[in-house]
Structure 1
């Protein structure tokens, strides 16, 4: 089966999951799950993510079963602890800035888990690994077409945060750019979800805990602090490159990826070990 056919199967499965699997989610299941988790949405949100997008992940793994499943969906744990520490460092200035700007504090654990942990984990596996990552890394699409198709869909999922035409356009634009940035981090960090996932979780958590307003587009002061996290993540990748990591996204991979799919970039832990003496 060639890459074109595999791409079509993957995209068809994604569209089916994203737009039709919700119709198979029975309201009786919602009632049962909400009663079990006492209206915290912990079980409900987890079950709904798995139900709606589980087929996509399964199809991605089966299409490329010659590769380890954990590589196909980006959950190889190698280097994950280093990516966690890097994400904490990158998000710390933004978090402190939000704390300075905020006049409220929401430490609801269910809210943090459903709005930050679940969102970061599942959106990175679904949009960055199972969709973008498979198209770019395994089906050999270029970065631009693979990132655009996944990031625009990711952005469309956030237009509810707009309240008029202009805010909807802004929300779509900002989240599409954010999706492309997360996709770039995913590639440059060994085709693993950990760094973009931790960045996603911490940024969402800071936004929710300190009650930042402005929807997906944010406001000026909040966006200035958010920019520090983005800039620091770019600097972090630059440091990895200086330590010997090969850049995955270059001019030659923008429209067509002709690299060796069997050649995995070194995880951050290996680069750190090599450069520690």
Structure 2
């Protein structure tokens, strides 16, 4: 078995095991821990942590000499990721404060799960592992690396509606959101905290204000989100030009890289 075939076999097998484990046992683990500890928040975090085990094992098999923190990209600057995300999402915060009222049905546990927990674990699973591993350690280019992860990321958000039109909108928005988060993650030199905090703040402002019942949103909800996205892109481009740093994502490596990109 060649090195590349072995890599993709282990990678796909590892993610498949994780996916089935999560699909069939996540809720059971969550309910068990909730009954044991009487905390929905702790149950959600621990259930996510336990179901991550197949991904951790997969990475250690593929890269036995690398640290797991490096492989998940969580050893990067938290402050840098926070700063980019906080400043970049200010248009959402200001715009939503102007056009929408604060939600009168905020539950602290639900808020934590939909912001902190979801942002952290979804970025670790989809951007760090499923997309990041392929882009960082294989010759797959940007579009080739993000396709599967972004499709799955969009699919897991379809629970938000039963309406066909809204489902199409939700799928398209979350798919493009995954592409954007991946681009930020790569161009910030594989700092997953940038994507985590972006995900966190965008979810937080959506939850704090009466914007929409689901991610499909509305005119002003999506307008201020787009303004934040443009600001973040502008900040990254400005910083790269100022520091004369090269881009990771260029036309030449959209599908196949000429050589492996290492973090």
The verdict on a shared fold, with TM-score over 0.5 as the criterion, is yes
5 Å matches for 1:115-130?
115-130=114-129
1:222/1:37 CA distance change after superposition, 3 Å: farther
Alpha-carbon displacement from aligned partner over 1:8-56 (angstroms, at most 9, x marks no partner): 32122212322344324574x4444223553x51111112212223211
Which sections of structure 1, spanning at least 5 residues, go unmatched?
265-277
Q: Residue 136 in 1 paired to residue 128 in 2?
A: no
Alpha-carbon displacement from aligned partner over 1:68-95 (angstroms, at most 9, x marks no partner): 3222111123x32122112111111201
Q: Which structure 1 residue ranges, 4+ long, deviate > 6 Å from structure 2?
A: none
TM-score, length basis structure 1: 0.87
Q: Residue 84 in 1 paired to residue 85 in 2?
A: no
Q: Contact 2:17–2:54 at 8 Å: present in 1 too?
A: no
1:196/1:114 CA distance change after superposition, 3 Å: same
1:180 corresponding residue in structure 2: 179
TM-score, length basis structure 2: 0.91
Higher deviation after alignment, 198-207 or 94-103: 94-103
Q: CA RMSD in A?
A: 2.0
Whole-Å separation in 1 of the counterparts to 2:56 and 2:204 = 26
Work out the number of aligned pairs and report it: 260
Higher deviation after alignment, 103-112 or 122-131: 103-112
1:218/1:19 CA distance change after superposition, 3 Å: farther
Shift of 1:104: 3.3
Shift of 1:107: 4.9
Shift of 1:260: 4.4
Whole-Å separation in 2 of the counterparts to 1:144 and 1:30 = 34
Alpha-carbon displacement from aligned partner over 1:195-236 (angstroms, at most 9, x marks no partner): 111100010011011132141211111000111111111011
Shift of 1:174: 0.8
Q: Residue 252 in 1 paired to residue 255 in 2?
A: no
Whole-Å separation in 1 of the counterparts to 2:123 and 2:26 = 22
1:246/1:7 CA distance change after superposition, 3 Å: same
